[in-house]
Structure 1
C-alpha cells in the first residue's frame, strides 16, 4: 500500500461498490423471487487483508481504534482467509446486561475457557469463571467455576443458590458445554460432553446420556470413554419451567416434562437432518414456539412446533409425517438461536444471521464467521453476536418505515435487507490483547 489514506479510500470505495452489487443481486432472489442471470459479485479487497489487520493491531496499541474504524469500516469479507484459522479464540456465548455491559464466554471445552466483561472500551477478564448462563428473563445468572456453580440474582447480585459439580468432581473431568437457568434460580440444567444434568437443592439427576447397549461386549477403557462422548449435546428450558428439550448426535429431539418430581419423556421428534444440534423456546410470539435445529454436513435444517402441540407428540422431521411440525429453515447449519416476536434469529455457519419464522421469507445480515451466540439488549435496539472467528459484533437497529418491494438496509458496508448498523466489534486473538474495531 502506498499510504494509509490511499488504502482507506480503496477499502471504502471498493467495499461500497461490492456491497451495493451483492445486495442488488440478493434482492433479485429475496424481493423479486427470481434467479439472478449474472454471477454473484466477488470481493476485490482480499489482497488488503494482512495490511488492514496489521493496521488494526497498530492503531489499537496506540489507542486509536476509533480513528481506524473511520478509515476502514468493519468488514470480514476481505479478511476471510485470515479469520479462518486457529489464531482466533472462539466466542461461545454473549449476553447484554441491563446496564448494556456485554458478557462473553471465550473458548471451547478443549481450549482455555474464560469470561470477559465489556463496558464500552474496557475489556476485563473475570477471575475464575469458565462459563455462565441465565434465566429467560435474565433475573438469575449462573456463574460456572471449575469446582462449583453459583446462581446470582442479577449479574452482580447476591448468591441465591450454589451447586456442587456432579459426582464430586471438577469441570476438568466433565468437559463443560453450557448451562441453562430455571426462572426460580433454584435449578439449572448443566450440559457437558458426558451427560446432561439437572442440579437442584436435592443434588443432581441425569436427564440425558449416551445410550448404553446391554448386548455389546465389554470394550477396553479408552474405546468405552470415546464411545460415551456426547457429540453436539444441547438443552433448553421453557420460560415457564414446564419443559426441557435435550438431544445429542445419537438421539432424537427429546422433550421432558416434570411429573411427580421426575423428568419424563413427553415427546420425541426425529430431526429433519441427522443430528440434533440446537434448540430454543420462544414465548415472545402470540403462540409459544419451539425451534429444533439439526445438522448433517451440507444438509442441515430447523423445525418448528407450537408448544401447545408438544405433549404426546411422536413425529419425524425427516419424513414430515405430522402436521404439527413445520420447517423454519431447510438449508443451513444453525449454531445459535434467539427468540424474537417475529420468529427466530438463526446464527449460521455461513456467517449469516437470519430472522425467520418459516422457510418462505427471510431477513438477514451477513457478518462472517460461524455465529455461535446471539442476544438482544433490554432496549431492543441492539443485537450482539459472538463468532467462531473470535469476534463480538454489536449491531444497532435504525428506525425505518418499510416500503413494499424495497430493501430496508441503511449501512452501506453490510450485506443485509434489515435496517441495522454495524456499530462496534471486539476481536479476540490467541495470546494477544483483545482488539476493538
Structure 2
C-alpha cells in the first residue's frame, strides 16, 4: 500500500474505515454489542502533508465546482485522520445560519472569544463588516445583528432596519437598594433570537437572559424572586451569583413562549408576559438546551452530565401549571432521547435533529423513535436547516462546517445510518488565511 499514491491511500483508508464502522454499528444494533470489537482506524498521519497540499491547491482562485467535486471524490472528507492537526489548528464555530440563497453566515470563534463573522458561498469568503454576533427569528424573517454599540433588527437578510435596541446595563430586574454593579461591557451573546414582531430580541448570555426592547431590557434569568429569597436568607449581596452557566433559551414559533434554563435548577417556560407557567424537572443533572418543534406544539428539553445527557419532550398544551421534579416519571414529560449532551439542534416536520458532544448528529421523532445518526466529529457547536427541511448545516468545535443534503443518499465514506450525504465541508482553521472548502 505504501507504493500507492497518497491520494489513493487516503481514499481507500477512509472508505474502508467508514464501511467497517457502519457494519459494526449495524451488527450491534441488530444482534447486541457483547463481544463485538470496534474497528481500529487505519494509519493515515503520513498522508496529512499531501492532503493539505491538495486542499490548498483546490482552493486557489479560478477553481470551478466540477474540480471541487473531483477533489472530494479523490480525497473524501473524514474527521479521525485530522486529529494530529487539531490541537494547533482547530477553533470552534460559535454560530451559523443557512441563508435563503444557500450561502452561510458564520461566526468563527466561540461566543466568549473574539470572533469574526463571515459569509461563505460558492464564490468564496466575504467578511461581514460591523457585525460581531447575529441571530434569526424562528420564522426566518427577522435578523438580529449586534456589535458593541447595540443590536439592530432587519426585515430579512440585507433588508431594512426595523428596530435598534440597546444592550442591558445589568441592573434590570435586580432588587433595589442593594449594591449590585452594572455591567462594565455588553454581554457576550450565546444566542440572539428576534421575536416574530421584529421589535424585541431574546438575548442569552452568561451574564443573564434578557428581552431587549425599545423601552429597555427585561431580565428573565436570574429571577428577581430567587435573588430576593437569597437576600432574605442572609446571603451577602456580594456573594450572590448573577452569572449563569449553560445559559440557554428557545422561542416558540409564534413568539408566545420562552423556554429557558441554566445548570442550577429546573427547566423553565414563560408565557408572553414572561410569567412562569411551567417548571420541568430534567432527565439528567444540568439543564442544557431547549427547542420547539416546527409546529410549535411540542418542546424538547435536554440536560447533561459530563458528556452524556437526556432529552424530555412535553406537549405545549400540557405546560400551564406543569411542575415536576428531577428524573420525574410524569407521563407528560417522557424521555425522547437518551445519551446525547446537546449543544445545538433543529427541527423539521415530525423530526428533531440534535448534535451531541461526541460529534454525532442524532435524529428522532416527536414520539422518541430513533430515526438515524450521522457522524461529523468533535463536539457539534451550531446547526441550522433550510426552510424546506432538505439541507442541514452543522459546525463543530474542531472548526468544521458540514453542509448535508438530507434524504438523498449516503456516500461510501460517510459514517452513519441515514441516507444523507455531505455536499460541502469548510475548514475554518488557525493557520489558514480564510476558511477552505473541501
CA 1:69 to 1:283, structure 2 compared with 1: closer, same or farther past 3 Å? closer
Choose from 191, 195, 213 the match for 1:182.
195
TM-fit CA distance, 1:56: 4.7
Q: What 5-or-longer segments of structure 1 have no aligned partner? A: 400-408
Choose from 100, 103, 109 the match for 2:102.
100
Query: How well do the aligned residues superpose, as a CA RMSD in angstroms?
Result: 2.5
CA 1:91 to 1:330, structure 2 compared with 1: closer, same or farther past 3 Å? same
Could you give the per-residue CA deviations for residues 217-255 of structure 1, whole angstroms, max 9, x where no partner exists? 4376xxx58x43211111111111111011111231110
Q: Which residue of the partner structure matches residue 266 of structure 2?
A: 252
Say if 2:217 is the partner of 1:204. Answer: yes
Superposed, 1:364-375 pairs within 5 Å as 364-375=373-384
Q: Which residue of the partner structure matches residue 178 of structure 2?
A: none
State the alpha-carbon separation in 1 of the partners of residues 102 and 140 from structure 2.
Answer: 13
Say if 2:72 is the partner of 1:69. Answer: yes
Q: Which residue of the partner structure matches residue 263 of structure 1?
A: 274
- Report the secondary structure of 2:202's partner residue: strand
Tell me the TM-score normalised to structure 2 length. 0.88
Could you give the per-residue CA deviations for residues 338-376 of structure 1, whole angstroms, max 9, x where no partner exists? 112132101011110011125552401101111112212
CA 1:96 to 1:110, structure 2 compared with 1: closer, same or farther past 3 Å? closer
Q: Which residue of the partner structure matches residue 424 of structure 1?
A: 424
Superposed, 1:15-414 pairs within 5 Å as 15-30=14-29, 32=30, 34-35=32-33, 37-48=35-46, 50-52=48-50, 54-56=52-54, 58-60=56-58, 62-63=60-61, 66=68, 68-83=71-86, 85=87, 87-167=89-169, 172-209=185-222, 211-212=226-227, 213-214=230-231, 215-218=233-236, 224=239, 227-258=241-272, 262-284=273-295, 288-320=297-329, 322-357=330-365, 358-399=367-408, 410-414=410-414
State the alpha-carbon separation in 1 of the partners of residues 188 and 125 from structure 2.
Answer: 26
- Report the secondary structure of 1:325's partner residue: coil
8 Å Cα contact 2:45/2:84 also seen in 1:
no
TM-fit CA distance, 1:186: 1.2
CA 1:58 to 1:299, structure 2 compared with 1: closer, same or farther past 3 Å? closer
TM-fit CA distance, 1:410: 2.6
- Equivalenced residue count is 415
Could you give the per-residue CA deviations for residues 388-417 of structure 1, whole angstroms, max 9, x where no partner exists? 111111111354xxxxxxxxx631001112
Could you give the per-residue CA deviations for residues 85-107 of structure 1, whole angstroms, max 9, x where no partner exists? 36322112221111111111222
State the alpha-carbon separation in 1 of the partners of residues 383 and 151 from structure 2.
Answer: 23
Tell me the TM-score normalised to structure 1 length. 0.88
CA 1:46 to 1:276, structure 2 compared with 1: closer, same or farther past 3 Å? farther
8 Å Cα contact 2:11/2:76 also seen in 1:
yes
8 Å Cα contact 2:210/2:219 also seen in 1:
yes
Q: Which residue of the partner structure matches residue 404 of structure 1?
A: none
CA 1:326 to 1:398, structure 2 compared with 1: closer, same or farther past 3 Å? closer
- Report the secondary structure of 1:21's partner residue: helix
TM-fit CA distance, 1:35: 2.8
TM-fit CA distance, 1:49: 5.9
State the alpha-carbon separation in 1 of the partners of residues 114 and 55 from structure 2.
Answer: 23
- Report the secondary structure of 1:300's partner residue: strand
CA 1:431 to 1:218, structure 2 compared with 1: closer, same or farther past 3 Å? farther
CA 1:2 to 1:330, structure 2 compared with 1: closer, same or farther past 3 Å? closer
Could you give the per-residue CA deviations for residues 62-97 of structure 1, whole angstroms, max 9, x where no partner exists? 4568264343111112223433x3632211222111
Q: Which residue of the partner structure matches residue 402 of structure 1?
A: none
TM-fit CA distance, 1:379: 4.3
